[in-house]
Amino acid sequence: MNNATNNPSNTTTNIVHQAEFTDTHALNIPTLSILQEDGTLFAGAASPSLDRATALKIYDSMVFIRILDERMLAAQRQGRVSFYMQCLGEEATTVASAAALDPKDMIMAQYREQGALHYRGFSLTQFMNQLLSNDQDLGKGRQMPVHYGSHDLHFMTISSPLGTQIPQASGYAYGQKLRGLPNISLCYFGEGAASEGDFHAGLNMAAVLRAPVIFFCRNNGYAISTPANEQFVGDGIACRGVGYGMQAIRVDGADALAVYEATRLARKLALEQQKPVLIEAIAYRLGAHSSSDDPSGYRSREEEARFRQQDPIARYKCWLKRKGWLDEAADQIACDALRQEVLDALKVAEKRAKPHIDTLIGDVYAEPTAALKAQLEQLKSHIRQYPDAYPLSAGRFE
């Protein structure tokens, strides 16, 4: 058997003399699972080093997001919010991974990662202002609900086109390396988005250009109605990372400890070796895709019930209780209080004014162009003529 290396094709290979095809599942990538349903650890598993404050902060963010999701989906049903997307069943993937990062690491998300944003410190009021697109929204009311972003919290503003943030995260991380920053980027995306060309572009570029970025795939089984087996036939997403020449790991996405540990190690690897890492978290999208979707058209109640048993919050809570870090009664009171706080914040946010009409032409460019200013003036004189048709803006300028 000859070993052929150092050739222009950049391959390292053994030469064989009988045809051998390699199977897609040849890698057989395992799934890291640390925490059992009852809150004990699997035999042979070690708990990541988590102090009590951090462990409780992870729990608080997961619970916050679950309650926010539950209340805001209801608010959408009442017509108080135009659109909503829950993260039900995936709270551990986003919160525990964010917890393993440095607060100055850039996060580039898809749209189902509000847990990471809350962990970073995005306040209830800030969530509400974005969801209600009022004049206090950091995004100035321009994007649909759930498209959050915060420069201060190093959380890139979300956009709807899927996968576009993947090569951007590679470029951002490359910039961090170029500037010698002690930080990395983490990019979240779903298994459906991983079918976009930007996934291929972003991973290959990060690998070739050695960008310190963690690609974090939430494989939750569905892209809207499309099950994962109609999305790809390879062994999930993790195997693809190996194909691009980066290290990859698969974790149980309902296990906060496994997600935390995998992300912590991936970050260390990315930063110390200045190269990308891929994490695939196996989860289940328990809720509908969005407030515009009804999953009963494409999957069974039985399937949903089966996965509801694998609740990431319940599992993590068992662990906290076993450690004596969580008191059931106090937790119940806190959750009830939070439900009320969310409703109160909603009431405040929906009473706030919408953004001023001048914001329509701001930020298209650093400075509005002459043509844009002329269009705004024309619009204002039109509104002066028909004020009743534009109640949000009429009477709010000169």
Partner 1 sequence: MAEMNMLQAINQALDLAMAQDDNVVCLGEDVGHFGGVFRATSQLQEKYGQNRCFNTPLTEQGIIGFANGMAALGLKPVAEIQFADYIYPAFDQIVNETAKYRYRSGNEFNVGGLVIRTPYGGGIAGGHYHSQSPEAYFAHTPGLKVVIPRNPAQAKGLLLGAIACPDPVLFMEPKRLYRASVGEVDEAYYELPLGEAEIIQAGTDVTVLAWGAQMEVVAKAVALAEQEGVSCELIDLRSILPWDQATVIDSVLKTGRLVVSHEAPLTGGFAGEIAATVQQHCFLYLESPIARVCGLDTPYPLALEKEYMADHLKVFTAIVDACNF
Confirm or reject binding of residue 241 to partner 1 (CB under 8 A).
no
Which range binds partner 1 by CB under 8 A, 312-320, 323-331, 367-375, 388-396?
367-375
Q: Which of residues 370-389 bind partner 1 (CB under 8 A)?
A: 370-371
Q: Residue 377, Cα to own-chain centre: how many angstroms?
A: 40
289 is catalytic: yes
Measured from the CB atom, the residue of 1 and 178 that comes closer to partner 1 is 178
Indicate the burial class of 206 (C-beta count within 10 angstroms; 0-12, 13-18, 19 or more): buried
285 is catalytic: yes
Q: Which pair of structure tokens corresponds to residue 279?
A: 């994490």
How many whole angstroms separate alpha carbon 214 and alpha carbon 277? Answer: 5
Q: DSSP string of 343-359?
A: HHHHHHHHHSPPPPGGG
Confirm or reject binding of residue 205 to partner 1 (CB under 8 A).
yes
How many whole angstroms separate alpha carbon 51 and alpha carbon 44? Answer: 21
Measured from the CB atom, the residue of 33 and 170 that comes closer to partner 1 is 170
Confirm or reject binding of residue 195 to partner 1 (CB under 8 A).
no
298 is catalytic: yes
How many residues touch partner 1 (CB under 8 A)? 50
Confirm or reject binding of residue 305 to partner 1 (CB under 8 A).
no
Residue type, 280: E
Confirm or reject binding of residue 243 to partner 1 (CB under 8 A).
no
Selected from 33, 150, 231, 393, the binder of partner 1 by CB under 8 A is: 150
Measured from the CB atom, the residue of 137 and 255 that comes closer to partner 1 is 137
Between the CA of residue 305 and those of 169, 221, 297, 367, what are the distances in Å?
36, 15, 16, 53
How many whole angstroms separate alpha carbon 27 and alpha carbon 235? Answer: 9
The SS3 call for residue 104 is coil
Confirm or reject binding of residue 198 to partner 1 (CB under 8 A).
yes
* Local structure of residue 389 (DSSP, 8 states): G
How many whole angstroms separate alpha carbon 133 and alpha carbon 359? Answer: 12
Confirm or reject binding of residue 204 to partner 1 (CB under 8 A).
yes
The SS3 call for residue 14 is strand
* Local structure of residue 153 (DSSP, 8 states): T
| Contact yes or no for 63/313 (Cβ under 8 A) | yes
Measured from the CB atom, the residue of 150 and 393 that comes closer to partner 1 is 150
Residues 25, 77, 298, 306: which is the catalytic one? 298
Residues 66, 240, 289, 315: which is the catalytic one? 289
Measured from the CB atom, the residue of 162 and 254 that comes closer to partner 1 is 162
Confirm or reject binding of residue 364 to partner 1 (CB under 8 A).
yes
Q: Which residue, 126, 106, 82, 122, is CA-closest to 213?
A: 106
Confirm or reject binding of residue 82 to partner 1 (CB under 8 A).
no
Selected from 45, 56, 74, 209, the binder of partner 1 by CB under 8 A is: 209
Q: What share of the chain is helix, strand, coil (3-state, %, to 5)?
A: 45, 10, 45
Confirm or reject binding of residue 138 to partner 1 (CB under 8 A).
yes
Measured from the CB atom, the residue of 310 and 375 that comes closer to partner 1 is 375
What positions carry a catalytic annotation?
Answer: 285, 289, 298
Where does this chain bind partner 1 (CB under 8 A)?
106, 108, 137-140, 142-143, 147, 149-151, 156-157, 159, 161, 164, 166-179, 185, 197-198, 200-202, 204-205, 208-209, 362-367, 369-371
